[in-house]
Structure 1
C-alpha cells in the first residue's frame, strides 16, 4: 500500500512538473535548459570516445562548457523561431509543413550554425579570427549534415507536434547531431589553412 502511494505521489509530482515546465510562462527557460543539457551530453559522449580512442589525451571540461553555452543559444533561437513560424504559417497541411521546412532549412539552420561558431569563438583567443576561420572551414560540412538529418525530422515535428514540444523533440534528435557537431568543431584536420 505504501509503495502504491509513493508511486502515485511521484506520478502526480512528475505530471505537475511537466505542466509547469511546458507552461507558457516557463517554456523559454525549459527549452534553453533542455538544449544546454543535450549539447553538454553530446560533447561529453564525443570527448569520452576521443579519450578512449586516444585522439585526445584527457577530458576537457572547458570545451564541454563551451558546447553547453552554444546549446543555450540554439535553444533560445529555436524557441523563438518556432513561435514565429507558427504565428505566420498557420495549419498542418502538407503545403504548410513544406513551407515551414524550407524556411527552417534556408533561414534557421544557417543561423543556428553561425550562432554555434560565434558562441564558441567568444571563449577562444582571437574570437573574430576563430569565428571567420571556423565558418570558412566547417560551415558547409555542418550545413550538409543539416540537410540529411533535419528534413525528415522536421516533417514529423511540424505535422504532428504542438509548438511547445518542438524544441524538446528537436533535442531528442539533436543528441546524435550534437556529437557530430562537437567532432567537426574540434577536428583540427578540417582547417583549410592546415592543408595548404
Structure 2
C-alpha cells in the first residue's frame, strides 16, 4: 500500500511538472469532454431520444475538448503572469475577465472544432452559433463565477485546468446536449436541466 501511494505521488508530481503540464491538461480535457458526452448520450438513450451510443459523436466532443484544453492551459498561465496575486479585488477582476473574454472564446472553439470535424460550411457553423451560443454562455454565467473565485483564490496555476475540468464535467454534459440538439427544437432552460453542473 505504501508503495502504491509513493508511485501515485511520483506520477502526480511528474504529470503536473512544467515539462508535462500541457500534455496532462490536454489529456484531462479530452477525457472529461468524452465522459460528459457519454453521460449525456446514456441519458438520451434512457429517455428514448437516442437508440444507441454514437461513438463518432463522443470522439468529436473529445477532440473539441483537446482544443479547449490547449487554450485553457495557455489562458491560465497568461492570467497568472499578467495578474499575479490573490487579493479579493484581483480575484474578482480575473473572474470578470475570464467570463467576458475566455468563456466566449472557449464556446466558439467548440463550435469551430466540431464544424471542422463534421466538415460543415461556414454558413452552417454561423447558424449553429446563432442558435446555441447564448444558451451555453448563459449557463456559463450560472456556474463559473463562484467556481472561478475558488480557482483563482485557492489553487496554484498548475492545478487550474484540472479543477476547471472537474467542475466542468456537468457543463460538458449540458454542452453535449445543446451542441448535438437539432436547431429549431424546443429549448430547455439551462437552469432547469437536471444533468450534472454546467
> Please, what TM-score do these two structures have when normalized by structure 1?
0.92
CA RMSD of aligned residues (A): 1.2
Query: Match of 1:117?
Result: 111
Contact 1:48 1:59 in 2 (8 A): yes
Query: Match of 2:16?
Result: 22
Query: Match of 2:123?
Result: 129
Q: What does 1:89-100 correspond to in 2, within 5 Å? A: 89-100=83-94
1:62 aligns with 2:56: yes
- Classify the secondary structure of the residue corresponding to 2:51: coil
Could you tell me how far 1:115 is from its partner in structure 2? 0.2
Contact 1:124 1:130 in 2 (8 A): no
| Structure in which a larger fraction of residues adopt helix | 1
1:50 aligns with 2:41: no
Question: Following the alignment from structure 2 to structure 1, what is the Cα–Cα distance between the partners of residues 117 and 124?
Answer: 10
- Classify the secondary structure of the residue corresponding to 2:48: coil
Q: Number of residue pairs matched?
A: 186
1:9 aligns with 2:24: no
- Classify the secondary structure of the residue corresponding to 2:141: helix
Contact 2:111 2:129 in 1 (8 A): yes
Contact 1:89 1:96 in 2 (8 A): yes
Question: Following the alignment from structure 1 to structure 2, what is the Cα–Cα distance between the partners of residues 109 and 20?
Answer: 29
- The one-character-per-residue Cα deviations of 1:51-91 (angstroms, maximum 9, x if unpaired) are 12110121110000000001001111110000000001011
Could you tell me how far 1:189 is from its partner in structure 2? 4.8
Could you tell me how far 1:8 is from its partner in structure 2? 1.1
- The one-character-per-residue Cα deviations of 1:81-128 (angstroms, maximum 9, x if unpaired) are 000000010110011101100110010000000000001111224342
- Classify the secondary structure of the residue corresponding to 1:122: helix
Contact 2:29 2:66 in 1 (8 A): yes
> Please, what TM-score do these two structures have when normalized by structure 2?
0.91
Could you tell me how far 1:190 is from its partner in structure 2? 4.0
Pick the aligned partner of 2:76 from 64, 77, 82. 82
Report runs of 4+ in structure 1 exceeding 3 Å deviation. 189-192
Q: Is there any run of 5+ residues in structure 2 with no aligned partner, and where?
A: 187-198
Contact 1:105 1:147 in 2 (8 A): yes
